[in-house]
Amino acid sequence: MNTITNALTIDVEDYFQVSAFAPCIPRSEWDSCECRVERNVELIMDMLDRHDVKATFFTLGWIAERYPDLVREMARRGHEVASHGYGHQRASDLSRAEFLDDITRAKSILEGLSGQEVRGYRAPSFSIGTDNQWAFDCLVEAGYSDSSSVYPIKHDHYGIPDAPRFMHEVRPGLTEIPPTTIRAFSRNWPASGGGYFRLMPYALSRQLLRKVNQEDQAAAVFYFHPWEVDPEQPRVAGASAKARFRHYLNLDRMQARLDRLLGDFSWGRMDQAFFKDAPSRN
């Protein structure tokens, strides 16, 4: 078992809320969609219980309003409740005032339900980039102290390829903790979950995480979504071939891979992996 405690994070959103499906499912239709997030998050929490692992759940305020008992259960089981914003709108698509309203609203809802102080935030689709660095100032104003919103890779929808790979202060009192990458061939490569974890052979994902722990002597930040453990979810009509490939690839293998991952590494909440004062943050 690896002695470094890595951060296990879950972005709590449902299948119909992912950015890639936005052209197919208008926001106005969300309430009429079959919502499967409650069942999926409970499945994940049961899996974590079997491995005695606590995690950080970056949760949408929209989900929290509709499933308040789910947020209370996260807190009851000892997980960190963090913010994914309110309505899963990309930070890069909002004005400064709209973004501040979104993150403030989500924080208030989540704190009221969990009884925890919500300090962590992750932007939907890692949508803090070079053109909206003002978002960090909004996070400070709203009372957040840590963010996991900048993916230091080159991607067609997000990322800052030359951003720092590891934990660093982006504003006084605000720490950015990026999803984990490895450095090879003069660029950063993803090594932290999501679709990449479903695409790559499990052995390769494990090797990359071990490389970060052993060679960089750093904790990793791994992320996934509740819909990724749900191969029976409804298929979205009209989505592009690329969106369908990225979203549905190997969903049927995800639970088994996560089960192996939980046993192969030491995992904890984001705050416990990176901040020594974590117990006082509840």
pLDDT at 1 over 70: no
pLDDT at 50 over 50: yes
What average pLDDT does the segment 199-227 reach?
96
pLDDT at 234 over 80: yes
Total tally of structural domains belonging to the chain: 1
DSSP strands (E only) in the chain: 5-12, 56-59, 80-83, 120-121, 146-147, 168-171, 174-176, 181-184, 187-190, 221-224, 266-268
pLDDT at 5 over 90: yes
Find tokens 């992912």 and name the residue. Answer: 18
pTM reported for the whole predicted model: 0.94
Q: Which of 187, 195, 194, 191 is nearest to 154 (CA)?
A: 187
Average pLDDT score over the chain? 94
Q: Which of 139, 72, 156, 78 is nearest to 110 (CA)?
A: 72
142 is in which domain, residue-wise?
Answer: 5-281
User: Are the C-beta atoms of 104 and 111 separated by less than 8 Å?
Assistant: no
Give the per-residue pLDDT at 160: 81
Sign of the alpha-carbon dihedral angle for 72, 73, 78, 84: negative
Give the per-residue pLDDT at 3: 83
Q: Which of 199, 234, 221 is nearest to 37 (CA)?
A: 234
Give the per-residue pLDDT at 222: 98
Alpha-carbon distance of 251 to 229, in angstroms, equals 6
What average pLDDT does the segment 154-176 reach?
85
The DSSP call for residue 166 is S
Dihedrals φ, ψ of 154, to 5°?
A: -95, 125
Find tokens 């947020």 and name the residue. Answer: 71
Q: What's the CATH code of the domain at 193? A: 3.20.20.370
SS3 18: coil
Percent of the chain scoring above 90 in pLDDT: 87
Picking from 219-228, 239-248, 255-264, which range would have the lowest pLDDT averaged per residue? 239-248
What confidence tier does 273 reach under pLDDT thresholds 50, 70, 90?
A: very high
Give the per-residue pLDDT at 280: 41
What confidence tier does 66 reach under pLDDT thresholds 50, 70, 90?
A: very high
Q: 93-130, pLDDT tens digit by residue?
A: 999 999 999 999 999 999 999 999 999 999 999 999 99
Q: 126-164, pLDDT tens digit by residue?
A: 999 999 999 999 999 999 999 999 999 876 566 588 889
Q: Which of 74, 105, 113 is nearest to 121 (CA)?
A: 105
Give the per-residue pLDDT at 245: 93
Most confident of 67-76, 161-170, 190-199, 237-246: 67-76
Which structure tokens are listed for 232? 């029976």
- Total length of the chain: 282
